[in-house]
Amino acid sequence: MSSRKQLSGVNNVMTQVRGWLYLLPALLFLIAFMVYPLIDVFVYSYQEGFNSASQTSFGIGLYNYKYILRDPYFLKAVKNTFILVIITVPVSTGLSLLISLGLSSIQKLKNMFQTIFFLPYVTNTLAVGLVFMILFRKTPYTDGLVNLLIGKFGISPIDFIDGPYWAKMLVLSIYVIWIVMPFKILILTSALASVPEVYYQSAKIDGTSSWRVFWRITLPMISPMIFYLVITGFIGAFKAYSDAVAIFGVNLNAADMNTIVGYVYDMLYGDGGGYPSYASAAAIVLFAIVLTITVINLIVSRKATDNT
């Protein structure tokens, strides 16, 4: 058999039927829970004054978009999300690159470190968020462990959970970084491991300094993976939500820490909920932002890889 030809077989009608039959369950679920909702979310977003109780709407138009773009809660959520993205993506990517470089230059205990570093990936976001909360929290009874620690450097105690905006943003960013690091370390470590040893050996023979080896060999070789991590990092960080809930509780608006996704869910459900139209409009705005950022990222990464 030279090429990978599909056999025509003898009972062809049966093949057709069987193919679709095997595919049917997946197809039904995908249509019901992905394709239809995808169309519907756009419909919702243009239906004005949709009321989920009475299933009625006034008409079609851009009102929902105009509403959310004037809604201070939405604007706050957008601002929070952008700040979170701008802090966490570069920090987590840079940090994970450093850690991966460290990991790939040791042999002893490497496995143990890798295992430990991966742990946050398999933990329940909500559960560990609670731990972060108590570590950072300041209550009338205790300043909390973190305050105790920074107190050693002469900084007066801050309430990171119910206190100033930037303190809260800092905790959230730290937690998000803590959560996303395992994936990035894993990807970068395997990217580094896949750089052929011969490059390093020939550089060694040429007497290239390790600094130069990093900039001229390692980094260009793994740059596609770094760009990939940056892109997925942006996408993931824009969708941040449960991390914030884990630390500040479900009422994110009260905590001034809501995110775009949080806004979507608040519009959909809960005390302020029942507005799928606003939720849809917000979700589509989020998707548009993510798409734009991804496209920009792709263009930048292509330019950058072309130049090297």
- Choosing from 36, 58, 166, 215, the residue that interacts with other proteins (CB under 8 A) is 36
Q: Which two tokens stand for residue 285?
A: 């705005």
Which two three-digit tokens encode residue 85?
């993205």
Quote the least distance from Cβ 190 to other proteins, whole Å: 5
Q: Is 46 in the site for other proteins (CB under 8 A)?
A: no
Q: Of these, 109, 155, 296, 299, which contacts other proteins (CB under 8 A)?
A: 109
Can you tell me which residue has the tokens 């570069």?
A: 90
Q: Any contact of residue 16 with other proteins (CB under 8 A)?
A: yes
Tokens in use for 146? Answer: 């973190």
Among 61, 66, 190, 292, binds other proteins (CB under 8 A): 190
The two tokens of residue 17 are 């039927």
Helices and strands per DSSP (H, E), number in the chain: 15, 2
Q: Does position 298 bind other proteins by CB under 8 A?
A: no
Among 187, 192, 240, 252, binds other proteins (CB under 8 A): 187
Q: Which of residues 134-173 bind other proteins (CB under 8 A)?
A: 134-135, 139, 141-142, 144-145, 148
Instruction: Establish if 51 lies at the interface with other proteins (CB under 8 A).
Output: no
Provide, rounded to whole angstroms, the least separation between the CB of residue 70 and other proteins: 20
Q: Which of 247, 291, 286, 248 is nearest to 267 (CA)?
A: 286
Residue 205 touches other proteins, criterion: CB under 8 A: no
Burial of 25 (0-12, 13-18, 19+ CB in 10 A): exposed
Distance in Å, CB of 125 to other proteins, minimum: 6
Examine residue 216 and tell whether it contacts other proteins (CB under 8 A).
no
Structure tokens at 158: 């801050």
Rounded CA separation 142/157 (Å): 10
From candidates 7, 154, 198, 308, binder to other proteins by CB under 8 A: 7
What residues numbered 116-135 form the site for other proteins, per CB under 8 A? 116-128, 130-132, 134-135
Burial-class residue 47 by CB neighbours within 10 Å (0-12, 13-18, 19+): buried
Distance CA 303, CA 295 (A): 12
Residue 137 to residue 197: CA distance in whole angstroms: 48
Q: Which stretch binds other proteins (CB under 8 A): 17-25, 59-67, 215-223, 300-308?
A: 17-25
CA dist., res. 5 & res. 250, Å (int): 56
Q: Tell me whether residue 176 or residue 284 sits nearer to other proteins (CB atom).
A: 284
Q: Which of residues 222-281 bind other proteins (CB under 8 A)?
A: 228, 231-232, 235, 239, 241-242, 245, 249-250, 261, 264-265, 268-269, 276, 279-280
CB 223 within 8 A of CB 308: yes
Total of residues contacting other proteins (CB under 8 A): 98
Q: Does 178 bind other proteins (CB under 8 A)?
A: yes
How far is it, in rounded angstroms, from Cα 259 to Cα 27? 33
Q: Given candidates 54, 70, 72, 115, which one binds other proteins under the rule CB under 8 A?
A: 115
User: Could you say which residues in the range 75-104 bind other proteins, by CB under 8 A?
Assistant: 98-99, 102-103
